[in-house]
């Protein structure tokens, strides 16, 4: 086999990693390098992110240890039956690359995943070894996100959490049937079992850190997961239900949604139809409704159409408001924050500003207009000192009136 240079390997393995969306680096505790010991600390300047136009995080060196894999997940370009160029880094090569890139200021940390070579345990050991070299030999205090392998020994998964800021296990598909069909080597119970183990270890480490100053950190930025949105495996209602269950059961920091995008040499088992990217966006919006807008999962699911899919032409918050018109209009001068959060077109920041302003004066429509992208879209749902919609919420053409024409309505307009 031809020997590849590190650069050639990087070309192959960085490209192979681009399909994983779960790489945001938010929420980590800072490791400090006080006393001039160690490098890469984010203390004092925070971790900043850069996102590519398609929403993927680019501030980390995002790479696979190898794209060889003994599994055959149909949606994955690295599956064993895929005809792609293969490469494999050693843990030391990845550690050296990370440090070299870090010193050039290209990156702030590492997102490391891997195909499964030899066995899950062996692969997990290689991932851990990379993180160990970085932390112990290079004294690297920057951000490390390790993708962990649910089939690996629980002790190894635990060791990964001692080096990484964030750990993640991909749940892959929202339903067990979808997983069985598209990732036959994976097991839903094993995936959730490993997530449960991480949740416990994270909680125990947090608890220990409150009692012992030098208690070892364990994945201080928590765990996340990624769900692949494939056209015919689950509808949005099922995806929302699965995500909300994962947040509750495993205290996940984030669920990332990744609309399946066509891969070279795609498996014949995959549906021909690719889901529109806007569907991924609507799922992220529904996720925000649950995490920041106080919507119960069942309420977000109510925003879906009869086929269980969220509308693509309007955001889920507007879809919910149009279905539950009897809850509107909301008086911006009197309504509690929970109800203001339901108003389409008003974001969390705008609402906090409105609440702060109304302590001093009675708000007019102009006051709201200054805080939103389009007051025309908010108007039917609110009451102000000088504005009350007359039967607007009863109009049959309300949806057409408030739906964005070509531009998408800003759910989080602030
Ligand atoms: S385990 Fe499945 S998803 Fe992961 S690299 Fe292998 S084939 Fe791809």
pLDDT band at 3 (very low <50, low <70, confident <90, very high): confident
Query: What pLDDT was estimated at residue 396?
Result: 73
Residue nearest to ligand 1 atom 1, measured at CA: 71
| Whether the predicted pLDDT of 413 surpasses 60 | no
Query: What pLDDT was estimated at residue 55?
Result: 44
Task: Decide: 71 in ligand 1 pocket, CB within 6 A.
Answer: yes
The first and second tokens of residue 320, run together, are 């919910």
In this structure, how many other beta carbons lie within 10 angstroms of the beta carbon of residue 117?
Answer: 17
What is the rounded radius of gyration, in angstroms, for the C-alpha atoms of the chain? 24
| Whether the predicted pLDDT of 268 surpasses 80 | no
Q: Which of 106, 104, 151, 158 is nearest to 131 (CA)?
A: 158
Mean pLDDT of 182-203: 94
Mean pLDDT of 286-297: 95
| Whether the predicted pLDDT of 228 surpasses 60 | yes
Query: What pLDDT was estimated at residue 207?
Result: 93
Residue nearest to ligand 1 atom 4, measured at CA: 115
Task: Give how far Cα 164 sits from Cα of 221, 227, 384, Å.
Answer: 9, 21, 50
pLDDT band at 320 (very low <50, low <70, confident <90, very high): very high
Mean pLDDT of 202-214: 91
Mean pLDDT of 237-264: 89
Cα separation, 399 vs 232, whole angstroms: 28
| Whether the predicted pLDDT of 382 surpasses 50 | yes
Distance in Å, CA 236 to ligand 1 centroid? 24
| Whether the predicted pLDDT of 155 surpasses 90 | yes
304 near 322, Cβ under 8 Å?
no
Cα separation, 227 vs 25, whole angstroms: 18
Task: Decide: 76 in ligand 1 pocket, CB within 6 A.
Answer: yes
Comparing 31-35, 236-240, 289-293, 398-402, the range with the smallest average pLDDT is: 31-35
pLDDT band at 93 (very low <50, low <70, confident <90, very high): very high
| Whether the predicted pLDDT of 34 surpasses 60 | no
Cα separation, 398 vs 409, whole angstroms: 14
The side-by-side arrangement of strands in the sheet containing 109-113 is 60-64, 109-113, 143-147, 166-168, 223-229, 254-259
| Whether the predicted pLDDT of 47 surpasses 50 | no
Task: Decide: 79 in ligand 1 pocket, CB within 6 A.
Answer: yes
pLDDT band at 414 (very low <50, low <70, confident <90, very high): very low
Residue percentage of the chain with pLDDT more than 90: 61
Residue nearest to ligand 1 atom 7, measured at CA: 79
Task: Give how far Cα 18 sits from Cα of 13, 183, 258, Å.
Answer: 9, 19, 11
pTM over 0.75: yes
Query: What pLDDT was estimated at residue 54?
Result: 42
The first and second tokens of residue 273, run together, are 């139809």
Give the distance from CA 204 to its chain's centroid.
24
Residue 226, strand partner residues: 256
Task: Decide: 69 in ligand 1 pocket, CB within 6 A.
Answer: yes
Cα separation, 158 vs 149, whole angstroms: 11
b/e map of 173-189 (b: 16 or more CB within 10 Å)? bbbeebbebbbeebebe
The first and second tokens of residue 328, run together, are 């509107």
pLDDT band at 69 (very low <50, low <70, confident <90, very high): very high
Task: Decide: 116 in ligand 1 pocket, CB within 6 A.
Answer: yes
Task: Decide: 341 in ligand 1 pocket, CB within 6 A.
Answer: no
| Whether the predicted pLDDT of 397 surpasses 90 | no
In this structure, how many other beta carbons lie within 10 angstroms of the beta carbon of residue 72?
Answer: 17
Comparing 23-37, 217-231, 281-295, 327-341, the range with the smallest average pLDDT is: 23-37
Distance in Å, CA 25 to ligand 1 centroid? 22
Task: Decide: 115 in ligand 1 pocket, CB within 6 A.
Answer: yes
pLDDT, tens digit (0-9, with 9 covering 90-100), for 94-141: 999 999 989 988 888 899 999 999 999 999 999 999 999 999 999 999
Give the 3-state DSSP-derived string for the chain, with helices as H, strands as E and coil as C.
Answer: CCCCCHHHHHHHHHHHHCCCCCCCCCCCCCCCCHHHCCECCCCCCCCCCCECCCCCECCEEEEECECCCCCCCCCCCCCCCCCCCCCECCHHHHHHHHHHHHHCCCCCEEEEECCCCCCHHHHHHHHHHHHHHHHHHCCECCEEEEECCCCCCHHHHHHHHHHCCEEECCCECCCHHHHHHHCCCCCHHHHHHHHHHHHHHHHHHHHHHHHCCCCCCCCCCCEEEEEEECCCCCCHHHHHHHHHHHHHHHCCCEEEEEECCCCCCCCCCCCCCCCCHHHHHHHHHHHHHHHHCCCCHHHHHHCCCCCCCCCCCCCHHHHHHHHCHHHCCEECCCCCHHHHCCCCCCCHHHHHHHHHHHCCCCCCHHHHHCCCCCHHHHHHHEEECCECCCCHHHCCCHHHHHCCCCCCCCCCCC
Helix 6-17 with 91-103: angle, nearest 10 deg: 90
Q: Count Cα neighbours of 217 within 13 Å in the Cβ-side half-sphere.
A: 17
């Amino acid at each position: 086999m031809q020997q590849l240079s590190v650069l050639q390997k990087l070309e192959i393995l960085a490209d192979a990693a681009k399909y994983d969306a779960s790489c945001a680096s938010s929420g980590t505790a800072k490791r400090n390098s006080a006393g001039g010991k160690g490098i890469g600390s984010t203390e004092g300047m925070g971790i900043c992110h850069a996102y590519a136009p398609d929403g993927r995080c680019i501030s980390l060196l995002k790479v696979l240890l190898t794209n060889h894999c003994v599994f055959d997940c149909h949606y994955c370009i690295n599956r064993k039956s895929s005809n792609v160029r293969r490469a494999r880094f050693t843990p030391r090569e990845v550690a050296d690359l990370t440090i070299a890139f870090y010193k050039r200021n290209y990156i702030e940390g590492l997102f490391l995943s891997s195909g499964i070579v030899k066995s899950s345990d062996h692969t997990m050991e290689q991932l851990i070894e990379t993180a160990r070299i970085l932390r112990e030999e290079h004294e690297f205090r920057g951000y490390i996100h390790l993708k962990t392998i649910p089939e690996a020994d629980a002790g190894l998964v635990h060791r990964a959490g001692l080096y990484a800021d964030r750990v993640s296990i991909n749940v892959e598909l929202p339903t067990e049937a979808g997983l069985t069909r598209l990732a036959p080597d994976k097991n839903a119970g094993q995936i959730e079992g490993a997530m449960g183990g991480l949740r416990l270890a994270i909680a125990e480490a947090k608890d220990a850190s409150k009692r012992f100053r030098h208690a070892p950190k364990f994945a201080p930025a928590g765990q996340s997961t990624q769900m692949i949105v494939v056209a015919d495996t689950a509808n949005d209602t099922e995806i929302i239900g699965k995500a909300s269950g994962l947040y509750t059961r495993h205290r996940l920091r984030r669920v990332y949604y990744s609309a399946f995008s066509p891969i070279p040499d795609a498996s014949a088992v995959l549906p021909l139809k690719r889901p529109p990217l806007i569907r991924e966006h609507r799922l992220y919006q529904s996720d925000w409704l649950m995490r920041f807008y106080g919507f119960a999962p069942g309420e977000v699911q109510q925003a879906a159409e009869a086929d269980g899919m969220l509308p693509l032409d309007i955001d889920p918050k507007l879809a919910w408001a149009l279905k539950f018109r009897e809850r509107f209009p909301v008086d911006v001068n009197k309504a509690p924050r929970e109800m203001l959060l339901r108003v389409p077109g008003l974001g969390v920041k705008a609402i906090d500003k409105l609440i702060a302003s109304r302590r001093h004066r009675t708000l007019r429509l102009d006051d709201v207009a200054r805080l939103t992208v389009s007051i025309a879209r908010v108007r039917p749902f609110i009451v102000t000192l000088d504005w009350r919609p007359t039967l607007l919420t009863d109009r049959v053409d309300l949806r057409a009136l408030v739906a964005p024409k070509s531009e998408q309505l800003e759910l989080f307009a602030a």
